[in-house]
Structure formats: structure tokens, C-alpha cells
Structure 1
Amino acid sequence: MAIDEKIFAGARLRRLRRERGLTQADAADMLGLSPSYLNLLERNQRPLTARVLLALADAFEIDVRALAEGSDRQLITDLEAAASDPSLASLQLERSELTELAESQPRAAEAVTRLHQAYRNAADSTADLAAQLAGGPETGQLPETEAVRNAIDKHHNHFPELERAAEALSAELKLTPDNRIGLLEARLKDGHGIIVRTFEDDVMGGARQRMDFHTRRLMLSDRLPPHARPMQIATTLVMLEYGDLLDRETAAAGLNSKAGQMLYRTGLARYLAGALLAPYGAFLKQAEKSRYDIERLQRRFQLGFEAVCHRLTTLHRPDASGIPFFMVRTDPAGNISKRFGGGVLPFARSGGSCPKWSLFEAFRAPEKLHTQRFILPDGSEYLSIARAVSHASTDNDLPVLHAIAVGCEWERAGETVYSERLAGAATETGLSCRICEREACAHRAFPSMYAKMNTNPWRQAAGPYASDEH
């Protein structure tokens, strides 16, 4: 971003203030501005100056690049998904119209996407009920999961209070990867009267971890791999020691349902535990030193592939930020069980992902690292690093297999060790078939909202649903 570039981000500034429950007068006081000047900024009648950007970074603990970037990619993607729904498709809304709505009225745009998500959830629930009555499979997704993901995405998966708490406790206990299990167990025993014990499946009943408050025992399954044990112990410890902090952060998210609040709080506890095992400063230093080599980070912090990928998505401290990473976890059926856009890559919330993404190639060769450079229809390019990982099933069935991908914008890929492996043109992909403009794609599973569907029985296109010739 050039120093003399004018930045008009009134809608984003207003949204940021409202998310924190501040009046214009309160926010102006925090930023050292007059309420009238802040009002002009929010109405895009004045550009954000360098001084205001620095004040925002200090007062709100945000990465000011988020205000300087353009439109909210995830919001526009969600609007495109809503516009592609059959109930709205006849309006033929153009991307420029959706972008204008997202930029000028982000809260109204978010309201539209929430209504669409609620509509889709209701439709899925109705279909699930019908399938159950007919003896078929259940396919829907609880609305709470999307609400939790939305709440995390608002923070770009970075929580400053949790980071500070983790660094303070790590320094107090003097944790290192070599001594942390013993020190964490000692803290549980001395501070909370809880001992850690390992049990076989017949005792655990298939659970990976269970807290028995009656006997004051943290019960761990013997199926847990070595790198997963510290995470389970650390999660239990932070829930006991930082309950008030977790409650405050959860309340601030404004989730309506009890289930959503519990899911969010559990996610924050795991975030805090991960930050305890890999403190922000130490992890960022090693990440930059190794050029974000995931395998080296695994060895240095004795963490699994997924835990390191998750930690990479959290490096958004304003005064010490790393590369903004996205992350996604999916099973062989394409069900996404974890997703962090990181303000980098938007995700389609329904309709599946692009099969040309190497994320799905990872299932063919588990434990092999798959790197890819891909380009979306809007011209944005990304680096993707994917691997399939497995762990033992608790019911003696097939191992549980997931593919995990982490990546960043291609312009930052040169800061990693992986860009050197990728030569040549980028793979042309999309986010999902319904909002992808690549008409001739042989992998297309659904017609695009941007083209008329092929209904000519005398012409077989390069891919299904390609538009008719005129």
C-alpha cells in the first residue's frame, strides 16, 4: 500500500465500531479524534490517514491492512451464493452490484447472507427430516456450526487476550516441547488436585479424553498419538484456569443459541491451548526462520500437521504479523469440518469445493505433501499445501482420514519454502460450481449462475452444463 494512497473505508470502520458496541463518541475518544471527524470518515467524506490507521491498530488491535484491502471477499462470495439460489437467480444480479452492496452497506449485505444461510439450513433440515422418515441418511448441518465459523472469521482467527494469557502462562511454567507434559500434569495436580491417567478403549468407551470430576482424574485414551496428549492436557488446564476469560470472549461473540456458545467456547479453549504449546513470539520467529516449513515447525514444537497449520492461521498480531494463511479440513466425502479464511480465501458454504484443488488429490497419497499454485476466476492466485492425515478409529473400523490444506496469496508465497517447487502456470480452479465462471470445465457438477445451462440434445459440450452456443 503506497503511503500517499487514499483509503476510503467508512463502511468497514463503522462495522468495526459497532462490533465492539461503541458509540461514535466513544470510538472517537479512543482514537483521539473528534466525533464529527469520525462521522466524516464513516461516511467516506474523508480518507483514512496514516495517523488514523496507526490509532486503529493500537486501539482495536487489528491489522490495518484489512481496512486497506478492498471488499470483504468472504462476504461477496456469500452474496454470490445467495444470488445463485433458484429463488433469486431470475434477477440476474451481477458481481459488480453485489460488490457495491458489500462495500457500501456491509451490515445489510451480511443480513442478506445470513437470511440465505438460514433458508439453506431450513431447507436442509426439511430434507433430512424427509430422508429420515423415508429411512434415508441425514445430510444437513447444524446452523450453530456456521454461526461459530462466522464469529471466528470476524476476528480472522486471532484473539489477542488469549495470546497474552498463553504467553504469560508459558513463561510462568517455563514450558518447552521436552518438559511440557510433566509440567502441565504437575500444574493440574498441584493447582487443581487432578491427576492424568491413560486407559484402554474398554474403559474410555471410545472417547479420546474424559474429565472425571468425581475421582479428580483426566482420563486419556491410549489411542492418542504422542503429539496429541499435550493438547488434551493443556486444553483441560486452560478451561480450569481461564474460565472467566473464555466466558468474556464467548459473550462478546453475541451467539444466540446455547449450543453455539458452547461450540465457540470450546474452540477458544483449544485455541488457547495451542497458543500455550506454541507461544506466539517463538512460533512466529521459527516460522519466519524456516520460511514457514511446516515439517520443521512440527519437529520444533512437537505438534501434528493439523495443529501447526491451525497455528499458522492465527499470526495476525498488528505489530508482529506473519503471512495471512487460510486453512480447511475435509473428509473423503467432501464434508468440511474446519475452515478458516483468514481474510485471504473466501469459501463457498454449500455446493462442495472445486475437485481440481490438490486438497482432494491428497486422499490418493496419504501423508504426502501436495503443493499447488491455483488461480480463481477473478484472477486471484494462491499457494496451497495439502496433506491427508489419519488417526485410529475408536470403533475398530477403518482409520479416520482427513485432508488438510493451508495456503496464502501467491504474492506472499515467495516467503515460504514451497513456492520454489511450483513452476509454470497456475491451475485454474473455482470456489464452487454454482459461482464459477469457467463454463467449459469438464469437472463441473452444477450449472453456473453466470451462464445459461446447456439444454441442446444435439451438442455435447466439453463439460456438463456448459452454456449453449449462440
Structure 2
Amino acid sequence: MRARKVFAGRKIRTIRQGHGLTQQAFAAQLGISTSYLNQLENNQRHVTAPVLLALADVFAVDIKDLSGNEDDRLLADLAEALADPMFSGEPPPSPDLKLVVQNAPSVAHAFLSMHQALRRAGERLAELDDTLERTGAQSDPTPYEEVRDFFHYLDNYVDWLDRAAEDLAGQLRGAISARALAEHIEREHGVRVVIGGDAARTGGLRRYDAQARVLSLNPRSSNATQGFQIAHQMALIAHSDAIDEIVRKADFRSADAGAICRIGLANYFAGAAVLPYAAFMEAARELRHDLELLAERFGASLEQVAHRLSTLQRPGLKGVPFFFARVDQAGNITKRHSATKLQFARFGSACPLWNVHSAFETPNRIIRQLAETPDGIRYLCLATTVTKPGGGYRAPVQRYALALGCEVRHASELVYADDLDIVRDEAFEPIGISCRICERHNCHQRAVPPLKHKLTVDEQARDTVPYGFE
């Protein structure tokens, strides 16, 4: 049987460097030329028996250590890791893997370490999901969560509806006011808009009588809200079939999820009609994403503007990728979307270090924050409060904080970054997603320890929080 050739360039180089010898001095002791040694170390030549014997005799090397068994194991581990379903596409051919193992084994070991870390992270998430399910915190997603995930995986951009809304704005020639929309829905769809009526009596924003074809709007609502509600009703009337088809293809688990999605799609159409894509993007760039100036130019609310900025993801004409959220005073996220790497906590409240909470302390102001998440991504975060009075002394007042932000690499496109120090590391505040999954050790606002970490408790010492974790 023919003997297998041994390539041991890395090991020979390690032995030489361990003795502090140059290639010339090492080659002289082995009785070979410097050029031949160079070829051996770069795996361009296999190790011959005389060289193996010289290494054993001169440098007391165990010949078995040069047999290549370790390389074989590394090659097998690498091939096994690349067969993992998490890696899509065809795996690299064997000759390429051999080159990596022979010439860059540290890269191979680093890849295997990364693969193992990913597997452990996946297992931890699976255990967390199982824990939450067994404790009743999660089973099947609720209809609301299912619809939220549906929009998330669409990047909160629905092309057909967005373009249909833009066509409507074109028909109105830019006059996207409540009055213009009311005239259009009456002229094109025979629906009469009444300010008051059923909506005023019930305290709702909008009531539609399909039989009488009358749309009633709350007289206390702003012009921007009234216009949005008219456009919403127009979507349900003019584009009902298209919306139904989108819902059908989504294949939701329940009829409730489908009904919620219909409302979400109609809302999407309304936002895209009030703030048509191309015109709004052009204005956003011109005004450097100044929320108040954009709201003034389009006669929209700050919430409408902030939410629309997070949907500018049309292929070939994408805007700055923003995250957007609406948070109540208890820290619950009631509306969320992210076109950035930042993902919001699915369970529990938002991180207390996020500036969205501070917005309630300074109403009617847009506050700024430079923040860094545990993954090292840095963001420019904006936050402000909005109130929605119900009318009258005893009527409840809705109060929310709006959060909008983007990665700091886009900061030059925002007027809010002009005087901020985005270079200095200390300017960025550490924030997280949720205490349950945040691994920061020195957070003074930690509410609960992270899941799946062993706690370390020292009764003889007391830090900011009464425990540490591994």
C-alpha cells in the first residue's frame, strides 16, 4: 500500500520559531537548503523520511506529531460544520478546505469556534422559548403578534399598496388634505364625509355606514387624523380585493389575524397616500429629516411622519433605514418597526436607559441620544411625546412617546446630528434590548438578571445590583 504524503508546514514553522531560528539556521541544522525549507513550511513539498528523522534527532520531535492526524481531524470538523443547514449554498470543495487547514489553521479554528457559539446561542434561544412557553408567557403567537411579524418580514413596505397610494396622491396633484380626500371619495366612490355624526356620538375616530355610504369623522380630530381616516376607508373600498389577496397569501393561523392585517394594510395605504413615497423622500432629504418641517410641509402629524420614514424601503429607491416605536408611560411598546439591526424586546418593557423614557420628562421637545447596543452597533436616537386628547375635562388623554433612530453612519443626513460628537466613544450611552437578554455586567438600571446565566452572589459585598453573573 502506498504511503500517504505528509504536509506539515505549519508544525515545522512552529518548531523553528519555538527555537528562535531563522529559516537559514534551521535548514542548516536539518541539512537541507533554505529554499527547500521554505517550500516545506508553505506546504508546497511534502515532508520526506530524512527530514522527519532529522527533526526527531536534532530537535527531539516526536514523528507521530507530524503525522497529519490533527489536520485530518480539523478538516473533518470543518467539513461537518459547513454541512450545518444554517449555511446556505454549496459547501466549499475539499481542495479549498485542505488549503485552509494546511495554510491558515487559525482561521479554521476561529470558524469552528464561531460555529459552536452560534449553535450554543441557538440552543439558548430554544431553551428560552421553551421556558417562556412552559410558564405560559408564550405559546402560539397572538393574532396581533402574527400580524406584527408579517409586516416586519416585509420590511414594513408593501409595494403594490404603496404605489397605488402614490397614484392617488398624483390624482390629487399634491393637495393631500382632508378636504381634498373627502371630495375625492365622494366623487369617485359615492361616499359622503360627515364631520360629526356617529363618530361624534360614540367618541370614535371613524364610523362608516356601508348601506348609506356615509363616513363620519370625529370633529375633535386634527386635520391630519381626519385625512388619514378618509384614506383608510378609501383603501377598504377601492382596494378591498387586493388587500384580501395579500391576507390570503399570508396564510395566517386565525381569522382574527387576517382581520387585524386588513386594518394594518388599510393604515399602510393611508400613510402612503398622505405622505407619497417619491415626494416625501425628496422632501426628507432636502429638509435633512427634520420631523417638524416635514409634518408642516405635508400637513401630517409627527407620528405619521416618523412612521413613514421607517417604511422608505422601496427597492432601488431606499431611504435611510430607521427604527420606529411608540411607547406608553409604563414602557410598553405599542407600535414598532425596525429597518435597522435594532430589534425590540418581544417580552417585557424597553430598556430604561433608552431616551424614549426621558421624553415624558420634557414634553413637546425632540431629545437626542447617541447610544450603543451590546452588539457594538451605534445609533442616533430621537424621542418626543405626543398627546391625543379625547375632549372635555373628564375625557381620557392618550400620551405616548415616539422613538425614531438610525445607525450613526447615517448621522450626516439628519439635522439632529449637526452638533453631536459622534467620534468620541464616551459620547455613546450603553443601552440594551431587554434585561432578560442583555449581558452587560455593569448596568446600574438592571431590573432582572439575564436568563441562562449562573448568578454569583456575595453576601459580604454589595454593588449596584445585589448579584453578579457569569
TM-score, normalization by structure 2: 0.70
Task: After superposition, give the CA deviation of every residue in 1:360-386 in whole Å (9 maximum; x if it has no partner).
Answer: 000111221111110012211111111
Give the greater-gyration-radius structure (CA): 2
Shift in Å at residue 402 of structure 1? 0.5
1:119 aligns with 2:121: no
Q: Which residue of 1 aligns with 2:451?
A: 449
Q: Pairwise mapping of residues 57-96 of structure 1 onto structure 2 (< 5 A)?
A: none
**Counterpart among 426, 429, 432 of residue 428 in structure 2:** 426
SS at match of 1:435: coil
Name 1:54's counterpart in structure 2.
none
Contiguous gaps of at least 5 residues in structure 2: 1-81, 94-112
Instruction: Provide the residue aligned with 1:199 in structure 2.
Output: 196
Paired residue secondary structure (1:347): coil
Shift of the alpha carbon at 1:143? Answer: 1.1
Map 1:236-255 onto structure 2 (within 5 A).
236-255=233-252
CA distance in 1, matches of 2:120, 2:258: 30
Q: 1:119 is matched by which residue type in structure 2?
A: E
CA contact (8 A) 2:355 2:368 kept: yes
2: CA distance, partners of 1:97 / 1:206:
57
1:320 aligned residue: 317
Structure 1 pair 376/191, CA: closer, same or farther in 2 (3 Å)?
same
In the other structure, the counterpart of 1:71 is: none
Q: CA deviation at 1:249?
A: 1.6
Q: Is the 8 A contact 1:175 1:183 kept in 2?
A: no
How far is the alpha carbon of 1:166 from its aligned partner? Answer: 1.3
Query: Could you tell which deviates more after superposition, 424-433 or 447-456?
Result: 447-456
Closer, same or farther: CA 430–249 of 1 in aligned 2, 3 Å: same
Deviates more, 1:141-150 or 1:159-168: 141-150
Tell me which amino acid in the other structure corresponds to 2:410.
R
Counterpart residue number, 1:267: 264
**1:281 CA displacement:** 0.6
Q: Against the structure 1 CA distance between its residues 163 and 200, is the aligned structure 2 distance closer, same or farther, given a 3 Å change threshold? A: closer
Provide the residue aligned with 2:155 in structure 1.
156
Contact 2:194 2:215 in 1 (8 A): yes
Deviation at 1:109, TM superposition (A): 11
Partner of 1:175: 174
Q: Is the 8 A contact 1:329 1:336 kept in 2?
A: yes
Cα distance in 2 for residues equivalent to 1:341 and 1:158: 11
Q: Which structure has more RCO (C-alpha within 8 Å, separation ≥ 6)?
A: 1
User: For 2:156, what is the secondary structure of its paired residue?
Assistant: coil
What is aligned with 1:440?
442
Q: Provide the C-alpha distance between the structure 1 equivalents of 2:131 and 2:142, rounded to a whole number of angstroms.
A: 8
State the alpha-carbon separation in 2 of the partners of residues 215 and 399 from structure 1.
32
Task: Name 1:58's counterpart in structure 2.
Answer: none
Deviations 1:164-189 (A, max 9, x none): 11122221232324xx3333212222
Distance change >3 Å, CA 276–CA 223, structure 1 → 2: same
Identity %: 32
Q: Which consecutive residues of structure 1, in runs of 5 or more, have no partner in the other structure?
A: 1-10, 16-39, 47-93, 127-140
Measured after TM superposition, the shift of residue 115 of structure 1 is 5.9
Instruction: Give the deviation of 1:406 after TM superposition.
Output: 0.7
Residue aligning to 1:414: 412
How far 1:467 sits from its partner (Å)? 3.3
Match in the other structure for 2:255:
258
Moved more, 224-233 or 391-400: 391-400
User: What amino acid sits opposite 1:153 in the alignment?
Assistant: H
2:306 corresponds to which residue? 309
1:45 shift after superposition:
5.1
Task: Give the number of equivalent residue pairs.
Answer: 363
How far residue 458 of structure 1 moved from its aligned partner, in angstroms, is 2.4
Q: Deviations 1:82-102 (Å, cap 9, x if unpaired)? A: xxxxxxxxxxxx996564589
Distance in structure 1 (CA, Å) of the matches to 2:361 and 2:115 = 39
Instruction: Look up the match of 2:397.
Output: 399
User: What value does the CA root-mean-square deviation take over the aligned residues?
Assistant: 3.2
Q: Is the 8 A contact 2:199 2:207 kept in 1?
A: no
| 2:294 match | 297
Q: Deviations over 1:426-453 (max 9, x none)?
A: 0111111111122221111000236432
1:378 aligns with 2:375: yes
